[in-house]
A and B are shown apart, each in its own frame.
Chain A
Amino acid sequence: MDQRFEGQPKAEIRLEGRRLIRGEVTNDWGSQLIWEIRRNGEVTASIPARAIDSHETTDAAAGQYEAVLKMFQYEGYEKDKDGKYTKSKFIEISNKVNWTI
């Protein structure tokens, strides 16, 4: 029996001071949920977001920051020779928030 993941997960996130806060995820697939934080377009952190609904950012380096909530989308177990998924991947499920240091 194929494992089904119906609907499209969505969540709203916001920034209060240095704290990232997320709302509840609708159409939650239950797979891994992470905050992805980028500085000047480069990913600097992937932080588990399932168990708590906020994350205090601690980055001090100067730059343009962006955060988004991502969820693992299962499309198959297949992986390449390096062990990377070839079909499954993390997808963005929220709006993005930005800040500058």
Chain B
Amino acid sequence: MLRIGDIRVPVCHGMTRRSFLEAGTAGLAGLSLPAVLSLEAAGAVDAAKAEIRNCITIFLVGSPGHLDTWDMKPEAPAEIRGKFKPIDTNVSGIQICEHFPLMARMMDKVALIRSLHHKTGATHENGQRWMMTGHDFNPDSVKPHCGSVVSRLFGSRGTLPASVVLPGKIGNTGAGPFHGQTAGYLGSAHEPFFLGSDPARSDFKVADLSPPAGQTEFRLNARRDLLRQVDEVQRRAETNSSLGRDTAYARALNLLTSSEAKQAFDLATESDKLRDRYGRNTLGQSCLMARRLVERGCRHVTINHFDTVFNLSCWDMHADGGGLNNTYADYEQLLCPQFDWAFTALIEDLSTRGLLDNTVVCVLSEMGRTPGLNPRGGRDHHPGAWTNFMVGGPIRGGQVIGSTDKTGARPQNNPIEPPQILASIYHAMGIDLETTMMPGPGNRPIRLVEAEPIHQLFS
């Protein structure tokens, strides 16, 4: 069975993805690809039947040092092993940093991937693009964010966007504007919905859910009616871009007028006790909101832990004495405790509500940090090796995949590259990479990502 979006298309027994590509798109159950696109954009495809799991990604902007967190080397010299000590977890033989004591108690749910690496330049942006799209960067064909792919293939459920980014876009991380968090060539209809507001604020309000000054609900509804009337005219001259604008505009109007959407974003309806358990901070409340969103039909939520690496306490531990002056103190007193508190709250909460089986939680970052401490006691960028992890859905926890050498400089066993992570996310979400194609540039069906999932995650 072949899928394009949510449409299952029977193929001859033994027909492979490649032979399908060779055969072209003609005869797909009588539907041409433009017809499929049109049906999906018009909402005619029954997205509710899509049998896919949700995904919540916590993206640790700045990149934690793997040797200081989830791939410790206690036997290495002091200038490599750093300041922190490892602790045992509830899985025999797996140790992590002492500043993740709560995560250590749920290691049986976590699959650590310790041999990640990429070979492109050591900038944050390279890592962001790799880890959010699964592709190397090409400015002539900007690849879509994972959530945009899911949006394009399976659409929204209810009025909530298929893909949401919390609390906001990644901004300046040093080397350019492309962070891998756009819909790219899929068009504006599949842009993630950027919250653009901090859910930890007591005066938190989603800007896009509040009508502009002077716009009453009556006027908004009138606009929606007008939109319906012009739909037919638009569709006569439809192109991907006009469809994209059309859908994006309809989505915005839906959000503005939907009580369901307003409720999904309203953290005030959660108990104070639960809000405290996530942590009264930007990361914690974003994690809580992510749970609310997937609970209500959002398929893919990305949480950016920080929108920049400059002039704030973040994972980018250069200890440079200036705008990048993050040190072990930031890790010990703020970053590790905050992450430990929020991440474990999210996993516990999803599990308690029976959502963890249907939700894949990924903790990703751009790269690792240098094995040797720099002269100021910090660590610099190192895409040669790092650790990320996955929980939930069909992921088998309590395991470590891959390893690094004695100093954590490079993978020693089972080296893993970013496209394999994206392939694993799609696979964990229930998407069959062999049969699910995506309309690529020029509407040519293409694979979601050119890699196989990490099979050990699922065995």
Contact = CB atoms under 8 A, between A and B. Distances in A.
A binds B: yes
Nearest to B305: A3
| Chain B interface residue bracket vs A | 35 or more
Given A1-B307, A77-B311, A77-B330, A31 B338 contact: yes
A79 interface: yes
B298 to A, nearest CB: 21
A5 B273 CA distance: 16
A83 interface: yes
A79 B325 contact: yes
Interface string B318-332: 010100011101101
Interface in B270-302: 272-273, 276-284
B134 interface: no
B282 A79 contact: no
A1 B280 contact: no
Interface in A1-33: 1-7, 9, 24-33
A30 B344 CA distance: 11
Nearest to A7: B280
B19 interface: no
Contacts of A7: 202, 280
Interface in A58-84: 72, 74, 76-79, 81, 83
A50 B102 contact: yes
A3 B280 contact: no
B313 interface: yes
B312 A77 contact: yes
A26 B201 CA distance: 16
A30 B325 contact: no
Contact of B341 (A2, A28, A74, A76): A28
B335 to A, nearest CB: 9
B337 A30 contact: yes
| Chain A interface residue bracket vs B | 20 to 34
B189 interface: no
Contacts of A26: 272, 276
Contact of A30 (B279, B329, B332, B377): B279
* Secondary structure call for the A interface: loop
Interface string B334-377: 10011011100000000000000000000000000000000001
Given A5-B280, A26-B272, A72 B201 contact: no
Contacts of B198: 1-2, 4
A101 interface: no
Contact of B273 (A2, A24, A51, A74): A24
Given A3-B312, A4-B198, A74-B313, A33 B276 contact: no
A78 B324 CA distance: 10
Contacts of A99: none
B411 interface: no
A81 to B, nearest CB: 8
B181 to A, nearest CB: 14
Contacts of A32: 332-334, 337
Instruction: Give me the 9 closest cross-chain CB pairs, A-B, nearest first.
Output: A30-B279, A51-B101, A30-B341, A77-B313, A4-B200, A72-B333, A28-B276, A32-B333, A30-B338
Interface of A: 1-7, 9, 24-33, 48, 50-51, 72, 74, 76-79, 81, 83, 85, 88, 90
Interface of B: 101-102, 105, 167-168, 198, 200-202, 272-273, 276-284, 306-307, 311-314, 319, 321, 325-327, 329-330, 332-334, 337-338, 340-342, 377
19 contacts: A3-B313, A4-B200, A4-B282, A6-B200, A6-B280, A7-B202, A7-B280, A24-B273, A25-B276, A28-B279, A28-B341, A30-B284, A31-B337, A74-B313, A77-B311, A77-B325, A81-B321, A88-B313, A90-B333
Given A2-B198, A30-B338, A83-B377, 16 more contacts: A3-B312, A3-B313, A4-B281, A24-B273, A24-B276, A25-B276, A28-B280, A28-B341, A29-B281, A31-B333, A32-B332, A50-B102, A50-B337, A72-B333, A77-B313, A79-B329
